[in-house]
Structure 1
Amino acid sequence: MEEVDRILIHSLKQVGTDVGEDVDSVKQFTSELIVEAVVRCVRVIDPSLGSGLSHLLPPGMSARFRLGMSLAQACQDLGYKGEIGYQTFLYSNEPEIRSLLMFLVEKLPRESAEASDQPAGKSVLLQKAIADQIKAQLAVPWLPPNCRLPIQCKTQSRGPCYRFSSQPLSVPYSLKVPQNKLSKEVKEYYREFQRAVTSQPSQPVAVPASLLDRHASELSAAQEWEAEWNSQGLLSRLTPEEYRSRKRSRLQRRIEEQLRAAAQPRPDSQGAQRSTSDLAELLQSFGGGSSGVDVLAKGTRFTHTEKFTFTQELEQMLLAAAASSSASEPEKSAQQQLASASASGGGSARRSEEELRAQQQEEINALQQQLQQLSLQMEEVGGDIRNLTTSINQMSEELKDMEKSNTENEELVRVKKQTMDLLPDGENNLEKLQNLVDTSVKRLDHLKAQWEKHKGPLLEEQQRLKELCSNQEAESDRMLAEIKELHDKIRQSAEEAKKKEALYKQLLTEYEKLPKDVSRSAYTMRILEIVGNIKKQKEEITKILSDTKDLQKEINSLTGKLDRTFAVTDELVFKDAKKDESVRKSYKYLAALHENCTQLIQTIEDTGTIMREIRDLEEQIETENSKKTLTNLEKILEDYKAIRQENSTLAAKIKEA
């Protein structure tokens, strides 16, 4: 039982039970430790059952009884078939507790029981370190800011907290563009001029958030592509590159169609025409518009600059003309007044400089109004130009339609002309036409006969090709299903390989941390000794069973032989006993001997039965002794006294109330 208890204690420690180092057997478990172990196991097996159970034994006796009943009910709900109640936890005995703990340990889920042995290498070690730090910080009580020490200021202040602010990063690798498809110049840029990731964000605190954001976006893109390829890409029977190119061309075509639809002229308002023109220009830049229209021409930077300069010069010329035409008279009068004011010094004192500025400001305002009117006229002219351009396009389409109908009419005229040329010599032409018709009918009949000859083999070939095509489709569907299954198996195998690789790394790390002075051979010899003892016990049990079987066979054969011998002897002696008196006495002695032997055998069997019962009673006595009945009775008496005292206290409180 020592090995079993060690295994149980090790499993209980793994689920979080606080088992002391000096406890090495179930016999040393106290009621508090039993309750904690059972509650920890129940919480791991079924959290819904263990969430409402406390792993600490309450001080009150009534609360202890309620907790014991709740634990017993939880164990029964988990499937424990043994006898269990509150006495199992409060007045425990070694065999029952060992049986219950063995049941709970066997019920522990392997994943949760082996959670500590299933890490993911360095990442899980980092997570464990973070969890330990968080637990340590949570264990420290909160203190006001004025009472904090320097070490507590680091953990309980809001200084190290920052907002999650991510920024775009430039890295030398990407899931969209493989490393081997990068150009030489791009690789050289990454090698020579690319800044480190830690120096790209504007603030150092944004580096982790930026890395997490980029990793999440790449991971989601890869998952979306994998899901789309497994659901639609495999059904298209294309390679991934062909599927991507087809998807790209479809997207480009849809964009062009949307832009063409948006570029159609709508006579709603002038603003709508302007947006239509802008969309038309954008469509022309995509290459989707017609190249014959000058308005949709893309142009170059030089033409744009030239057009802009010419427009500015034109506006300046118009402004100068308008200013000269509208304000020539006021300027002349102002110039004359200035000249006269400069000639006569006394007259310049009558008009101040502020009046001249006010007059000039009025003239500037008038010019600005004229400029706004001219701008409105230019916008109207531009709208007319756009309308004319639209009408030109419509007229071009109408012209194309008219040319098409004209071509059809010309064809009809040509046919009618040929018919009219044949009318003067109608009878000869009719005869020729009839000959042509007869020849055509004969040729058609000949072709029908030839078609009937070739029709059968062609139909058979068509049917065979259809069957072959259907078989190929079925085979391709089957292969497609197999490919999907292989993809799933490959993904599962890859995940399993990653898990095992991570487990190997962590086990290697834990192995390096273990002390190296422990001898592996000692454990091996111990295991071999246990296996040898078990083997010897099995051999002895087998030998005892075989000896018992042999003895039983021998007893059965001797009993049968004795019965047969007695029957023969009884028959022979009984025949002679009718004739001779001495033989009659011998017959009586024989019967008495047989009866005494039967009683002796029965006595021996009863003795064996009694010995077995004695051994069973001794085992029961040992079992009852191991149950600590006297100790439990003493505990029950103490608990009974405590309950009576609690009841009397409660009754006194009720009376006082």
Structure 2
Amino acid sequence: MEEVDNILIHALKQVGTEVSEETGSIKQFTSELIVEAVVRCIRVIDPGLGSALPTFLPPGMSARFRVGMSLAQACQDIGYKGEIGYQTFLYSNEPEIRSLLMFLVEKLPRESAEASDQPTGKSVVLQKAIAAAIRAQLAVPWLPPNCRLPLHGETQSPGAQHNFHVQPLSLPHCTKGPGKKQLKGGQGSLIYMLEDYQRDVLPPVTAQPSHQASVVASILEQHTAELSAAQEWDNEWNTQGLLSRLTPQEYRSRKLARLRKRIEEQLRSAALPCPESAFGGPRSASDLSELLQAFRGSAPSDHILTKGTHFTHTQKFTFTQVRTAPRAQHKHAAPPILSGHQSESDMQLRQQEEQASLQQQFQQLSALPCLLSCVHGGCVWVQVLDELKQRELGNSEKEEKMQVKKKTIDLLPDADDNLPKLQAVVEASAKRVVHLASQWEKHRAPLIDEHRRLKEICSNQDLESSRKLSEIKSLHDKIRVSTEEAKKKEEIYKQLVTELENLPQDVSRSAYTQRILEIVSNIKKQKEEITKILSDTKELQKEINSLTGKLDRTFAVTDELVFKDAKKDESVRKSYKYLAALHENCNQLIQTIEDTGTILREIRDLEEQIETENSSKTVANLERILDDYKAIRQENSALAAKVREG
């Protein structure tokens, strides 16, 4: 029982029971220690049930009985089936207490289950330390501010509270050396300038927010954004990137190219003049157009020179003449219809005004931001390239038609002679086409077969590639799961190493291992001895049964033979009487031996019961019961006296 008691004491220490180092067995447990151990175990098993139970015995006897009954009821509620009552805790019995503590220790949650539910690693140790500090602070009784001592003021004074305010941060991202060597020209210089800015000008992260209280919130927000971006990239790569059969760099570059192309198309469509605007209609209300209009500044759209086709320029020139006539009438009081006999001074004045307006437009265009000029120039360049390609295609088609018409015109003067030649050429071409068709049919069949074969091979390759792609995805999933498991195991390993370092180093693991091996060997020897004793008992029982049967058969045969001769001879008759008496005496002797064995077994049982009663401290418990009875009578008499006095 010594090993069992050591295991129980170790488990009770882990749940928070204050067991002294001198206590080495359950026999040395006092009533107060038993109550504390049982309550600590119940609080771990069922916190809601154990929170209402005290960990100590009150001084009054009636309160002690109530606590004992509450503990007995709580043990029955969690599933204890043995006999239990208030006497189990107040008048402890070693076997009953051992069985109760063994049940409670077995009901405790396993460390493996707790480890699977909680995060592992160094964070667990930190969380345990934080929880211990919070529990220690919660255990301190609350006091009003006027009654607090300086120590209480440190632990119970409210700290500084701030709102969760986030500000954007600029974090330096370093670039490796080989990557910088590959960049050429302006990109390399730009990277070096950026590094110089980050090293010399960029303030630290803690100095970038306007308020010091926003540093932690901003760092947490930045870290969360980076984590979410990385997670989104992983999800996108696992769902769409693998299906594209590209490397991550190629997939990123293709995605970036698509995005740039889309932006160029949007900018190009936004930069083109709307047909309705030429006729004075409403403008487009798209966001991008509004953004470009904001980039252009406060200048009206009529003063901005844009690239357009010949048709748009014609429309603009036609309708602007109609719109500029009232404007000129409003400014210079000119007549609404311009006459052909206008003087040269009026023409010079108009030219000067037009030159001034063009100069103003030039100044406004030169004042536009650099971004607008780049965007507008790029859009115009793309538009010009498209028009050039379209015109080149149209020119090539027109050249082919022109060549055909030229050859036809050359043949027209000598039509009579050229018609038979053309007919002969056509017939030869027809024969050649027929010959080529027959040759094509000869080559077509194997080519079709080859096409079908290659198509089947391609389909098989597609199926094989899709199968391999599914295998790759499953392997990626397995790799991710294995990586997560490896991380968890690494964190568990670090946690166990940390806990091992925190454990006392004076305990030798080899001693425990040696002790466990000795216990196992002793159990094995005891099992072998029990098996040997059982086999010997079976052999003895078989031998006794065989001898008893042999004795009965021998007596029956001897009795029959002697009885036959006893009828004729008197001496044989006396022998028969002696034989019957001998048989009866032997039976009595055997019965006496069996009764003796039964009595010896009863004696051993009684001795074990006596030892059990001695271990249960019956006499000491009776004395304690008498003392408690006297204390209760004194309490009752004191209460009765108070009642009479009242």
TM bin, normalised by shorter chain, reads 0.5 to 0.7
Alignment of 1:485-564 (within 5 A): 485-508=478-501, 510=502, 514=504, 518=506, 520=508, 528=514, 531-532=517-518, 535-536=521-522, 538-539=524-525, 542-543=528-529, 545-557=531-543, 559-561=545-547, 563-564=549-550
- 1:207-356 counterparts in 2 under 5 A? 207-257=215-265, 259=267, 265=274, 272=284, 279=291, 295=306
Indicate the residue corresponding to 1:67 in structure 2. Answer: 70
2:553 corresponds to which of 558, 564, 567: 567
Answer yes or no: is the 8 Å Cα contact 1:8–1:101 preserved in 2: yes
Structure 1 residues 479 and 63, CA gap change in structure 2 (3 angstroms): same
Distance 1:482 1:255, change over 3 A: same
Q: Which amino acid in structure 2 is aligned with residue 553 of structure 1?
A: E
- The letter for the 1-side match of 2:560 is F
Residues 632-651 of structure 1 mapped to structure 2, 5 A cutoff: none
Cα 1:259/1:89, change in 2 over 3 Å: farther
Total equivalences in the alignment: 542
What does the per-residue CA deviation read over 1:559-581, in whole Å, with 9 as the maximum and x for residues that have no partner? 41453365357436734653463
Kept in 2: contact 1:120–1:506 (CA 8 A): no
Question: 2 CA distance for matches of 1:640 and 1:440?
Answer: 134
* Residues 1:149 and 1:401: Cα distance change in structure 2 (over 3 Å): same
TM-score (norm 2): 0.64
2:600 to 578, 595, 611: 611
Give SS of 1:248's match: helix
Equivalent position amino acid for 2:74 in 1 = L
Write the letter of the residue equivalent to 2:252. R
Counterpart residue type for residue 247 of structure 1: K
* CA spacing shift, 1:491–1:250, aligned 2, 3 Å: farther
Question: CA distance change for structure 1 residues 152 and 5 in 2, over 3 Å: closer, same or farther?
Answer: same
Partner residue in 2 for 1:467: 460
Question: What residue number does 2:582 align with?
Answer: 593
Task: Check whether the contact 2:43–2:50 (CA below 8 A) recurs between aligned residues.
Answer: yes
2:562 touches 2:572 (CA, 8 Å); kept in 1?
Answer: yes
Closer, same or farther: CA 544–406 of 1 in aligned 2, 3 Å: closer
Deviation at 1:138?
4.0
User: Hey, what's the Cα distance between the residues in 2 that align with 1:445 and 1:147?
Assistant: 115
| Residues in 2 aligned to 1:189 and 1:466: alpha-carbon distance in whole angstroms | 56
Letter in 2 for 1:40: R
1:354-397 deviations in Å (ceiling 9; x for gaps):
xxxxxxxxxxxxxxxxxxxx99xx99xx9xxxxxxxxxx99x99
Q: CA deviation at 1:496?
A: 1.4
Tell me whether 479-488 or 27-36 shows the greater mean CA deviation: 27-36
1:484-503 deviation digits (Å, cap 9, x = unpaired): 20221022102311331243
For the residues of structure 2 that align with 1:497 and 1:28, how far apart are their CA atoms? 42
Q: Does structure 1 conserve the Cα–Cα contact (< 8 Å) formed by 2:68 and 2:85?
A: no
Aligned pairs for 1:3-18 within 5 A: 3-18=3-18
Confirm or deny: 8 A CA contact 1:12 1:37 kept in the other structure: yes
Tell me how far 1:154 sits from its aligned partner.
4.4
CA distance in 1, matches of 2:143, 2:554: 106
Checking the alignment, whether the CA contact within 8 Å between 2:94 and 2:616 is kept in structure 1 is yes
Which blocks of at least 5 consecutive residues in structure 1 are unaligned?
Answer: 285-292, 298-317, 324-373, 383-392
CA contact (8 A) 2:122 2:494 kept: no
**Residues of 2 paired with 1:260 and 1:602: CA distance?**
121
Residue 17 of structure 1: CA displacement?
3.3
Give the deviation of 1:531 after TM superposition.
Answer: 5.0
Opposite residue 543 of structure 2, the aligned amino acid is: S
CA distance in structure 1 between the partners assigned to 2:33 and 2:481 by the alignment: 47
Which stretch has the larger CA shift, 137-146 or 270-279? 270-279
Partners of 2:243 and 2:577 in 1: CA distance: 103
**Which residue is equivalent to 2:317?**
none
Partners of 1:405 and 1:173 in 2: CA distance:
52
- Measured in 2, the distance between the counterparts of 1:637 and 1:259 equals 100
Q: Distance in 2 between matches of 1:633 and 1:469?
A: 92
Aligned equivalents of 1:145 and 1:98: distance in 2?
Answer: 48
Deviation at 1:191, TM superposition (A): 5.8
Whether contact under 8 Å (1:69, 1:85) holds in the other structure is yes
Distance 1:282 1:419, change over 3 A: farther
Q: 1:470 is matched by which residue type in structure 2?
A: L
Q: Which amino acid aligns with 2:255?
A: K
Q: Which moved more, 1:396-405 or 1:155-164?
A: 396-405
Aligned equivalent of 1:447: 440
Q: Distance in 1 between matches of 2:391 and 2:451?
A: 46
| Paired amino acid for 1:26 | I
Q: Is contact 1:121–1:506 with CA below 8 Å preserved after alignment? A: no
Name the CA distance, whole Å, in 1 between partners of 2:7 and 2:253.
Answer: 61
* Change beyond 3 A, Cα 1:216–1:45: farther
Report if the CA contact (8 A) 2:26-2:97 is conserved. Answer: yes
Q: Secondary structure at the match of 1:578?
A: helix
Once structures 1 and 2 are overlaid, which stretch shifts more, 605-614 or 589-598? Answer: 589-598
| Alignment match, 2:97 | 97
Provide, for residues 485-534 of structure 1, a one-character-per-residue CA deviation record: whole Å limited to 9, x for no partner: 022102210231133124314532x25xx4x7x475xx856874675466
Does the C-alpha gap of structure 1 residues 639 and 148 become closer, same or farther in structure 2, counting only changes over 3 Å? same
Unaligned 5+ segments in structure 2 are: 182-190, 297-303, 309-326, 333-355, 365-381
Query: Could you give the per-residue CA deviations for residues 173-219 of structure 1, whole angstroms, max 9, x where no partner exists?
Result: 57xx6797568835566666665544555555554444444433333
Looking at structure 2, the residues matched to 519 and 543 of structure 1 have their Cα atoms a distance apart, in angstroms, of 34
Deviations 1:100-131 (A, max 9, x none): 3222222322338987xx99777566555555
Percent identity (aligned): 44
Deviations 1:526-551 (Å, cap 9, x if unpaired)? 87467546635643553354145235
Q: CA 1:173/1:86 → structure 2, altered by over 3 Å: closer, same or farther? A: farther
| 1:477 Cα offset (Å) | 1.8
2:185 match:
none
Shift of 1:82: 4.0
Question: Is the 8 Å Cα contact of residues 119 and 502 (structure 1) preserved in structure 2?
Answer: no
